[in-house]
Structure formats: structure tokens, C-alpha cells
Amino acid sequence: MGVRFLSFFIVFFVFSSIFLFYKKVKTLHYTKSNYEKPIMQFNNVKTYVISTDGIKAFIEAKIAKRFKDRDELYFIHSNRKTKKTKEQLSANKGILKNNFLYLYGNVIYKNDQNTTLTSNTVVYNIKKDILSSKTKFKLIFNKNVVIGKSFIYFKKQKKLFASNIKANIIMEKK
């Protein structure tokens, strides 16, 4: 019995050694965001921008991390109300750095004038109130659809500049 167990153990040891010897070694590729620890981390964050007129903006995130040079937000949803429009902006991840909000993953911008803009990555210049992207996007306004490769949207002027677009625009008969 003991000899059988010893021979089984030796065979198992030899095969596992051969397997481990020929197995490709996996290494982790560390980047700054992989090993840097946040100064603070919050869960289920809700932020309000309040003025004398009432609540102007509401920002919600499942996780928020504050680093020395940036803030990272995960599963973001925000509502903003101006004198002329109501806007919604959502994304899977956002990085706030130097008055720019870099949005990643399922980015959706909507306003109350039946405009919806979707893309994978969007850069939002907070000071100038400009949305831009160098990735594919889809813009839906009323029943019209525009698909393109990159865009710059000036929110205050409500002007969109896009490249390589395909549009399906429905004209009303008069």
C-alpha cells in the first residue's frame, strides 16, 4: 500500500513538474492606474449643484475615487437644467482632470429637444461646454439618424461638426 502511494505521488510530481516547466509564464502589465492607490474612495455618490433658482445639476456615481491629479467615477449619471434645456449624461467610467471629463463606455447624452448622442468615448470640456469624440458616434434627433466617425458638439450654440457621416433625414411635406 505504501509503495503504491509513493509511486503514485512520484508520477504525479513528475507530470506536474513537466506541465509547469512548459507552461507559458503570465506576467502582469502594470500601469499607473493599476498600482496607484486613491486618496479617498466613495460608494453611491450623489452631488447636487444648487442655486437660488433650485437644483441646477445632479450627478450620481456608484464609485468615486480621488487621486492626486484626477477623480475617477464609475457608472455615472447626471442631470443638468439650464434656462433653455434639460440634459442627461451617462457613462460607465469618467475621469475628471483639469476641467475635462473623459468619458468611457456606453456614453449617452440626451436633451429635452429629442436629441440623443451615443459613443464609446467622449471628452467633455467643462469650461467651454463642448462634447467631442474621435470614435464612432450615433446622433438621433426627432426621427433623423446621423452616424459618423468623429464629432465636436458645441452645446451652447447647438452646433455639431462631424466627419465621415451617413445620415437618414426625414423631411416634412409642405
- Give the best-scoring range by mean pLDDT among 5-9, 12-16, 152-156, 165-169: 152-156
Paired sense of beta strands 115-125 and 150-154, if any:
unpaired
Compute the CA torsion angle 77, 82, 84, 89 (nearest 10 deg): -10
**Percent of the chain, pLDDT > 90?**
33
3-state secondary structure of 17: helix
> Domains of the chain (ranges plus CATH)?
38-168 (2.60.450.10)
Q: Quick: pLDDT tens for 82-138.
A: 777 788 999 999 998 998 999 999 999 998 888 899 999 999 998 888 999 999 999
* Cell 470614435, residue located: 135
Q: Quick: pLDDT tens for 16-40.
A: 777 777 766 666 565 665 567 888 9
85 Cβ neighbours under 8 A, 6+ residues apart: 111, 112, 113
Cα–Cα distance list, 97 to 1, 125, 159 (Å): 68, 10, 25
